Amino acid sequence: MTSCGALRSSFFSLLNSHDTSTWLSSSTTTLPSKRQKKFSGSIVAVQQESKPGEKSDIVLNNTNGRITKNLNFSGEKPSTPILDTINYPIHMKNLSLEELEILTDELREELVYTVSKTGGHLSSSLGVAELTVALHHVFNSPEDKIIWDVGHQAYPHKILTGRRSKMGTIRQTFGLAGFPKREESAHDAFGAGHSSTSISAGLGMAVGRDLLGKSNHVISVIGDGAMTAGQAYEALNNAGFLDSNLIVVLNDNKQVSLPTATVDGPAPPVGALSKALSRLQTSSQFRQLRDSTNEITKQSGSPAHELAVKVDSSVSGMAGSPGSCLFEELGIYYIGPVDGHSLVDLVYIFKKIKEMPAAGPVMIHIITEKGKGYPPAEAAADKMHGVVKFDPKTGKQMKSKPETLSYTEYFAKSLVAEAEQDDKIVAIHAAMGGGTGLNIFQKRFPNRTFDVGIAEQHAVTFAAGLATEGLKPFCAIYSSFLQRGYDQVVHDVDLQKLPVRFMMDRAGLVGADGPTHCGAFDTTYMACLPNMVVMAPSDEVELMHMIATAAAIDDRPSCLRYPRGNGIGAPLPPNNKGTPLEVGKGRIIKEGSRVAILGFGTIVQNCLGASDILQEQHGLSITVADARFCKPLDGDLIRKLAQEHEVLITIEEGSIGGFSSHVSHFLCLNGLLDGNLKWRAMVLPDRYIDHGAQSDQIDEAGLSPRHIAATVLSLIGEGKDSLQLLNL
Amino acid sequence: MSCRNYGVAQKLPRTENGLRLYTRPDNPPRFVSFRVRPGPVIQSSLNETVSLISEQHPINFYELLGIPETGSLLEMKQAYKKLARKYHPDVSPPGRVEEYTQAFIRVQEAYETLSDPRSREMYDRNIAKGLHLAFRRSEFDEFSTFVTVSLTRLHVYWQEIEEKNEWESQWQSQLSELKRRSMYKDSNDNMSWAARIRRERNES
């Protein structure tokens, strides 16, 4: 078809011309030959697709404009000839650039294959495949220290540093940790899990190296989300001052929150920093756009053209020079933006910097895409950040459908129900909309949800500020992340007695994430504060009532801890709206004799399990009580239990110094320990429990139903039977 | 020959390069496509184009959808659904099918560009930098919308290539500057902690 031919040729010339095209800028930068080749490849492909006699459509889609190679995501073990030769980074030194590119592809295939079988963090690792390969090729881990911020993108790093064979055990009991861990390998320079620590640690290693007279390199990899935390700037401030040789790689993929999406779809990242970082990328685009505008307006007529020129000249003043930005002012030399998926560029830049003897602190700003190379991840709203087992061909996750929802979801629904009746309720979270369930709240009340970025300290004081104005802030931060904002809790909230409500999700043992995310200490650090009300629900219904209670407590701060897991299936109140409980009153769930177990939190379910075991196998009937409040304690309940039983066991899924300690103080101050009472406390042991399945961790901690039953038996004098129970 | 009878397509003008730009009216379109059609091209005054939308002479997607420039994704979705239902060829009044289809296509393009945060950002920048102002309303209404859509789409695509060339020249120059700086970094007037340590090391 001549017409189609005309289209083809004219379009082809359009696309490939550098001089007179209307669309392309008239910049005379020559394309690196590699890119040009790829480019004509796509045009050829399009041409071949259209059969003669048909209309030739050139379809340009937003997402499919780029060229993707055909990687094997079929679910079978991918063939990885080059990756098979690499056991340690030193084996990568002699590879050529082409082989490194093939290695990156194989690495992606291997990642998708492994994570599809075990679950874990997928897309962040896919985004840094090229970066990892480039770093290990140029630098010599473990002499050169590579520090990964947060660490969930370190899967390729683990594969390349001798742990490929164990990747099938990642995040499981006795397997590899899901984050870098110093005990695991010499190549993991620093343990991570909480964000924004890599530059600080890197600076420490750099200064140590300088003092000791060594000459290795230190590279910290940090993401744009982690850059929203203050600690990163504290580190940069110090690095700029000390001027020690340090390489910081800023991995910018425009993903600040987890996920950077609402319930309805992708959302732009929160915070002004993201906009600032994008301006660094686009300051040169203006020139290109200006040129193309000029071309077009020349065609359309002179008045329009004049107008465009006027607009252009007024705006050109606004585009500042790239590079002279925040980082430069701090004394960090800024290089970028760099295409984070171009191995050529990355290797070149790293090699150049490696040669310089005194570069000082350097920041390389690379632009990547989360989930790059695996289309289902690129397309998903949450980019498949954290996944369970999935089908590699389609990306569909095999999520089991439990009968009850998670505590997080119950929390979100209950908070929505409260907020519908009280318009002073606002919710704050620190870049964890998905994890805390506040994305659900945001869908219903978009103006009353605040995502502050990864800034727990700011979130707490921000909530305190809101409380002074009479609002009712609910601060939903994971138990272990709230540690970062502890001084703000003490000084800004508790000391001033401001009614901020802390909703501490992931309290207790958390399973596959391991000790970095474990919420063992929250009762300890919250209950020692003079003005804080501390509660913990034993099931999802209690959770809803406690949220209502927290909403009602308006004269002092309060907090509420609940674990990772699903509800037990208790009947919910209508519309998910709880009723406020009486503060400082617990309840007795089951009456018995001789032995009383007083539990705090969802561990009460394990106590009920233990009482069933004892009933069925030993005919013992024991009392199980739910304390509900750690502060203020239900003194009457404790007195009653102490006076009517021989044995009192207090139990919580927290460290020493928490609920059990408070009960012990109460008992001794009230003279209840002066009689015949045997009191024992069951708490988490004084060590960090490794990652694994939650049930395994509870067993390891000694808080499972059979451990509780064994403790009871050992106390009422039947030692042999308790050992038998332990072996069940 | 099948490249005929594009009643709607007749109204669109041609560009300098001889490309005739049309959209596909037959089926509800899902994407922008460039198509060639032989035969004469009828220049229209463009005042005959879809009266409903052209009455308001919208000059940008936001006006087309009827939402403010700061509109959220939800508002956009609602506006799009409402307009799509109104202008879908299947429910259009007979005799005005072509106009309605045109309108539908434009609503579709507007939604697709604005719903993806990235292309929306590009589009916003296009507006801010006066790309729209380059076209005189009365004569280039259709063309401007069309070209802006194509430009935006192409920009997002071409961005990949062009941007990276810009970036490369930029970081090349940054690297050479750094190299130059690192040569005199440890000179005696640099009093930072690390420079002092490095000097001591070099001396010993």
Residue A721's pLDDT is: 63
Among A235, A173, A158, which residue's Cα sits nearest to residue A199?
A: A235
Is residue A14 predicted with pLDDT exceeding 90?
no
Residue A503's pLDDT is: 97
Residue B59's pLDDT is: 59
- What residues of chain B lie within 8 A of the CB of A299, using their CB? 15-16
% of chain A with per-residue pLDDT over 70: 83
Return the number of CB contacts < 8 Å for A and B.
Answer: 222
Is residue B122 predicted with pLDDT exceeding 80?
no
Verify whether the Cβ–Cβ distance A337 to B15 is below 8 Å: no
Is residue B55 predicted with pLDDT exceeding 60?
no
Residue A29's pLDDT is: 37
Residue B8's pLDDT is: 42
* Distance from the B45 Cα atom to the nearest Cα atom in chain A, whole angstroms: 15
Encoding tokens for residue A329?
């002012």
Query: Taking the CB of residue A369, how many other CB atoms lie within 10 A of it?
Result: 18
Could you tell me if B44 lies within 8 Å of chain A, comparing CB atoms?
no
% of chain A with per-residue pLDDT over 90: 73
Mean pLDDT across B43-72: 58
Could you tell me if B14 lies within 8 Å of chain A, comparing CB atoms?
no
Bond preceding residue A357 cis, omega within 30 of 0: no
Among B168, B172, B191, B175, which residue's Cα sits nearest to residue A333?
A: B175
**In A243-379, which ranges are continuous DSSP H helix?**
272-282, 285-300, 302-316, 326-329, 343-355, 375-379
Residue B198's pLDDT is: 87
- Who wins on pLDDT, B138 or A235? A235
Mean pLDDT, chain A, whole residue set: 85
Is residue B67 predicted with pLDDT exceeding 70?
yes
Encoding tokens for residue A268?
């732009």
Task: Check A456, A540, A542, A653 and give the catalytic one.
Answer: A456
The Cα–Cα gap between A520 and A657 comes to: 11
Could you tell me if B72 lies within 8 Å of chain A, comparing CB atoms?
yes
The Cα–Cα gap between B148 and B161 comes to: 19
The Cα–Cα gap between A177 and A150 comes to: 13
Task: Check A108, A164, A209, A370 and give the catalytic one.
Answer: A370
User: How confident is residue B151, by pLDDT bands cut at 50, 70 and 90?
Assistant: confident
The Cα–Cα gap between A242 and A497 comes to: 40
**pLDDT one-digit tens code per residue, A687-718:** 999 999 999 999 999 999 999 999 999 998 76
* Distance from the B179 Cα atom to the nearest Cα atom in chain A, whole angstroms: 7
Is residue A1 predicted with pLDDT exceeding 70?
no
User: How confident is residue A296, by pLDDT bands cut at 50, 70 and 90?
Assistant: low
Residue A105's pLDDT is: 95
Verify whether the Cβ–Cβ distance A292 to B190 is below 8 Å: no
Encoding tokens for residue A314?
């007024």
Residue A325's pLDDT is: 76
**pLDDT one-digit tens code per residue, A268-293:** 888 888 888 888 877 654 444 544 55
The Cα–Cα gap between A517 and A193 comes to: 7
Query: Taking the CB of residue A198, how many other CB atoms lie within 10 A of it?
Result: 29
Q: Which of B117, B130, B159 sits opposite A311 (nearest CB)?
A: B130
**pLDDT one-digit tens code per residue, B36-50:** 444 443 444 333 334
The Cα–Cα gap between B16 and B29 comes to: 26
The Cα–Cα gap between B158 and A14 comes to: 13
The Cα–Cα gap between A485 and A476 comes to: 12
The Cα–Cα gap between A87 and A96 comes to: 17
Residue A622's pLDDT is: 94
- Who wins on pLDDT, B95 or A542? A542
User: A143 burial class (0-12, 13-18, 19+ CB within 10 angstroms)?
Assistant: exposed
- What residues of chain A lie within 8 A of the CB of B160, using their CB? 65-66
Q: Which of B134, B162, B185 sits opposite A24 (nearest CB)?
A: B162
Encoding tokens for residue B150?
């194509």
User: A35 burial class (0-12, 13-18, 19+ CB within 10 angstroms)?
Assistant: middle
User: How confident is residue A308, by pLDDT bands cut at 50, 70 and 90?
Assistant: low
Residue B182's pLDDT is: 85
Length of chain A counted residue by residue? 728
Could you tell me if B26 lies within 8 Å of chain A, comparing CB atoms?
no
- What residues of chain A lie within 8 A of the CB of B116, using their CB? 62
User: How confident is residue A9, by pLDDT bands cut at 50, 70 and 90?
Assistant: very low
**pLDDT one-digit tens code per residue, A650-662:** 999 999 999 999 9
Verify whether the Cβ–Cβ distance B130 to A55 is below 8 Å: no
Residue B50's pLDDT is: 43
- What residues of chain B lie within 8 A of the CB of A244, using their CB? 193-194
Q: Which of B18, B131, B178 sits opposite A335 (nearest CB)?
A: B178
Q: Which of B156, B159, B175 sits opposite A335 (nearest CB)?
A: B175
* Distance from the B53 Cα atom to the nearest Cα atom in chain A, whole angstroms: 23
Residue A304's pLDDT is: 57
User: How confident is residue A194, by pLDDT bands cut at 50, 70 and 90?
Assistant: very high
Is residue A176 predicted with pLDDT exceeding 70?
yes
Q: How many helices (H) and strands (E) does chain B have?
A: 7, 1
Residue B27's pLDDT is: 44
Query: Cβ(A655)–Cβ(A688) under 8 Å?
Result: no
Q: Which residues contact A548 (CB under 8 A, 6 or more apart)?
A: A414, A418, A577, A578, A579, A580, A581
Could you tell me if B196 lies within 8 Å of chain A, comparing CB atoms?
no
Among A672, A630, A448, A452, which residue's Cα sits nearest to residue A537?
A: A630
Residue A611's pLDDT is: 95
Assess whether A117 carries a catalytic annotation.
Answer: no
Is residue A191 predicted with pLDDT exceeding 90?
yes
Residue A136's pLDDT is: 96
Q: Which residue has the tokens 């119950």?
A: A410
- What residues of chain A lie within 8 A of the CB of B126, using their CB? 289
- What residues of chain A lie within 8 A of the CB of B32, using their CB? 59-60
Residue A251's pLDDT is: 95
Assess whether A51 carries a catalytic annotation.
Answer: no
Q: Which of residues 142-171 of B touch A (CB under 8 A)?
A: 147, 151, 153-171
Query: Cβ(A180)–Cβ(A186) under 8 Å?
Result: no
Assess whether A484 carries a catalytic annotation.
Answer: yes
**pLDDT one-digit tens code per residue, A317-359:** 333 344 457 888 889 999 989 999 999 999 999 999 999 888 8
Q: Which residue has the tokens 């694994």?
A: A692
Bond preceding residue A632 cis, omega within 30 of 0: yes
Residue in chain A closest to B120 (alpha carbons) equals: A268
Query: Cβ(A57)–Cβ(A49) under 8 Å?
Result: no
